[in-house]
Amino acid sequence: MDQWFKENLACPRDHKGLEFDEKYLICPDGHKYPVVDGIPVMLRDDVDQTLWVAEASLKSANQNGGAIDDDEIPFAETLGIDPEEREQLKKLPKSDVDPVVQMSIAKTCGNLYAPLVGNLKTYPIPELRLPDSKGELFLDIGCNWGRWVIAAARKGYDVVGIDPSLGAVITARRVFNQLGLRGRFVVADGRYLPFSSAIFDVVFSYSVLQHIDKELSELAINEVARVMKPRATALIQLPNVYGIRCLYNNARRGFRKAIGFGEIRYWTLAEMRKTFSEIIGENSLSVDGYFGLGIQKSDLDILPARFKMVVRCSEVLRRLSQHARWMTHFADSVYVKATRRAMVKDQS
């Protein structure tokens, strides 16, 4: 096991240190977490899961005995794709792009990418709106196959990605190896981070908190604050309730409360500022995009022609919003950038 894990992982229940016994990480109170082919599976089995893939990951990890399975697509049952999609995944032709990424691209990047399922020629790596780094420790909450941690690694960050899907985490490690990058990956839940306090320089999350109720999001944001160093940076993407597309989608469902992981929880800008101010510290808002969630200028060349205008218009408005701050009120996707207060209190 990576020595970094031994030094920095902690029990997600009580934040106590862990001992490794070849197959499990064990805390002083006896809580056990399986390790599969060097990947710690740090999910709690005593809480309700927000996504069924976490339950599948726990079951598969405990049944597996610590070794990776022999299937062509390891732990496909934890990937969040249905049995029919799993069969399609096995039949995909050989490509420079990992088959799991090929099959899950629309689920991880958004509806604009649906025509690219099975047809990707290259990995869609977005622009990370953070400065280059000289090895700062970067955590991505909800990394899936790793697009944002790839972006961070290429900027020089020392990256750690977590996701509740064991199959997705194994895919991320496989893609990193293919691209010649270095990163660490853990199967974990953002509400209960399995790390010691005050160790990360940057904590990032994209298209994750929008899928869980705000009470659970606040639990995750408290955990973000706990693992951040004093004066560290958090960059978290959230959907704006008054965004053009968000307002339309919310109206389509009758403005009722969101149900399940698949439906979006919309935030007001005031809620974003207040929540992050109370939990983390000083913060600011910036536009990620318009006309939907997940739209990235960096993917302009790979998207179908009919979607290129959407991307271009979103980028023009995003650039204008940097000078006309009032335009943030109508953006669909917004970044909250927060700086951790100088004093960090361990919330264990």
The two tokens of residue 246 are 């968000």
Is residue 348, in this structure, part of any structural domain at all? no
Give the chain's domain count. 1
Give percent above pLDDT 90 in the chain: 81
Contact 104, 79 (CB under 8 A): yes
Domain of residue 299 covers: 3-339
Listed in sequence order, the residues at least 6 apart from 35 whose beta carbon sits closer than 8 Å to its beta carbon are 1, 20, 22, 23, 24, 25, 41, 66
pLDDT of residue 309: 95
The two tokens of residue 64 are 């597996």
345 pLDDT exceeds 60? no
Is residue 345, in this structure, part of any structural domain at all? no
Query: CA 83, 84, 85: angle at the middle one, nearest 5?
Result: 90
120 pLDDT exceeds 50? yes
Is residue 224, in this structure, part of any structural domain at all? yes
pLDDT of residue 348: 46
Taking the C-alpha atoms of 163, 14, 58 and 173 in order, what is their torsion angle to the nearest 10 degrees?
Answer: 30
pLDDT tens per residue across span 198-225: 999 999 999 999 999 999 999 999 999 9
Is residue 54, in this structure, part of any structural domain at all? yes
Is residue 344, in this structure, part of any structural domain at all? no
Is residue 194, in this structure, part of any structural domain at all? yes
pLDDT tens per residue across span 125-145: 999 999 999 999 999 999 999
**Residue 274 confidence class, pLDDT cut points 50, 70, 90:** very high
Is residue 237, in this structure, part of any structural domain at all? yes
**Residue 77 confidence class, pLDDT cut points 50, 70, 90:** confident
* C-alpha to C-alpha distance for 190 and 215, rounded to whole angstroms: 13
Mean pLDDT (whole number) for 221-230 = 98
- Domain of 129, CATH number, reads 3.40.50.150
